[in-house]
Structures are given as structure tokens and as C-alpha cells.
Structure 1
Amino acid sequence: MSGGMPPLRDRHLAAGFIVVMYCLLGALAALLIVAAFSGRDTIAGAAGVAGGILGGVLGVRRIRRTPEEERGNTP
């Protein structure tokens, strides 16, 4: 791996970063969509949690589907 942010050179930290970012993006998207169509905070909160979980699952799936050569072989 050449370049990049120093903490993300370790592949486990990079994988964790990807999963956390997918969680946050999923939660944000779900909150914004539900808040636009519903004025209830409870539903928006539940949608945010569900979106975060779904985003995390998609992040893990993305990492597992990436070919080994592209993941980087740093120890």
C-alpha cells in the first residue's frame, strides 16, 4: 500500500474504518429520509439504528467481496 493516512496502513484498522463509515452513512441516510417524510422522532431514531446496522453489514460485505490483491498485504 503506498501513501494513505498512517493509521489506515494496517489492514485491520482500515477494515474497521470502512465498516464504521458505512454505519454512519447508513444511519445518516435513514435519518434524513425518515425525517423528511415523518415528523416523529421515535421513528427517525429507529430508522437511524436500522440504517446503521444495514450500513455496517454492507461495509463488511464490501470488504469480504474485495479481491485479496486489492486489500493490501501489510502485516
Structure 2
Amino acid sequence: LKGLSGNLDVIIPRGGKSLVGRVQTEARVPVFAHLEGICHLYIDRSADLDMAVKIAVNAKMRRTGVCGAAET
């Protein structure tokens, strides 16, 4: 991606902290970076509570090491 200056508008790196940091350091185009990546979960009062609990448990417990796992 480093050599594609002029062909990319923005980079959204997905991966570990070291990968995202390296992309930020070396990119020649804007980078949407997350580094620590805190994934929040919000449940609206009008939500189906049984379904919301199932989704929340899945989001938190299914694969806790991935960058999309809920943390709060």
C-alpha cells in the first residue's frame, strides 16, 4: 500500500496494534486508525431484551481476541 500514493484516498487498517501503528507511520495518504479499539455496545430501551442479551453475550464471549469483540 505504501507505493500506491495517488491511487488510494484513505487506508483503514485492520489488525494488531503494531500493524496499525506501522501503517500510520509509513502511509502517504490519510489513515483511519483505531490502535486500542474500544467496541461499545448500546441497547436501546425499546429493544427486544431477550434478543439483546443474546447479541451482547455473543459479541462479548464468542471470540474475545478479535478486534470486533465488545469491550463495554
Q: If the length of structure 2 is used for normalisation, what is the TM-score? A: 0.33
Larger Rg: 2
Q: If the length of structure 1 is used for normalisation, what is the TM-score? A: 0.32
Comparing both chains, which one has the higher relative contact order based on Cα–Cα distances under 8 Å and sequence gaps of 6 or more? 1
| Structure with greater proportional helix content | 1
